[in-house]
Amino acid sequence: MDTIYEVHGLTKRYGRTAALNGVDFAVTPGKLVGLLGPNCSGKTTLMKISAGLLQPTTGSVIIDKVPVGVFTKAVTSYLPDRMALPTEFTADDAVSLYADFFTDFDKVKANAMPADLHIGDKIGSMSKGTQEKMQLCLTMSRAARLYLLDEPLGGVDPAARDYILSTILHNYSEDAALMLSTHLIGDIEKVLDEVILLQDGKVLRQAAVDELREETGESVDAYFREVYKC
């Protein structure tokens, strides 16, 4: 099958420190991929480069057969690991902004956000969990080819996690791919098709979840704890 997301020899250096060091992998459409690794393993740097927010030192990222640039931003829906919208915005303001910026944005879908998001409330007055849900709804209301979700479950309660996972599963199509990074592996491994494990800025392993479980006799969460134990 053709790939939708390819990373070739990707390196990002800050002075003498390599946040990424020769990363290679490929993802095919229809896959929900977990990007896993401890803090400072390069997950956020990889996503920011893929979203066109950082420039690599060397190497390349190819999305839908095109190097990262203006075109790939139009087909990539990125959820950052922190609130990226002005806190004085209301959710309605955010919907209007996305509708202006992205031609693939489905305003009807976004306006169907759950009642507890309180469309008229300012972002700054929302709880962290509500902010996370709102940003995710905006991100998943695009008909993108690639979704990049950086820690979508971070800092929210279990009920919010269930809502977020349900939103993810029901809002991306089989001709798209979705990658999410998280430390909460036990909460998401049941929905993952593949995992990519990063360590010290390198790909330690890419594997199908079912194959990994069969090979190791462990859950992905248990395997992660074994690989990265102190």
pLDDT band at 14 (very low <50, low <70, confident <90, very high): very high
- According to DSSP, the residues that pair with 76 across neighbouring strands are 146
Q: Quick one: which of 137, 170, 153 has its CA closest to 81?
A: 153
pLDDT at 45 over 80: yes
| pLDDT bracket for residue 168 (50, 70, 90) | confident
**Please, what is the average pLDDT of the chain?**
89
- What does the alpha-carbon distance between residue 208 and residue 193 come to, in Å, rounded to a whole number? 6
pLDDT surpasses 70 at 119 = no
- Highest mean pLDDT (candidates 6-10, 158-162, 219-223): 6-10
Q: How would you list the strands of the sheet with 177-181, edge to edge?
A: 76-79, 146-150, 177-181, 32-36, 194-199, 202-208
Listed residue (154, 226, 220) closest to 190, CA to CA: 220
Q: Let me know: does 195 contact 210? Beta carbons within 8 Å.
A: no
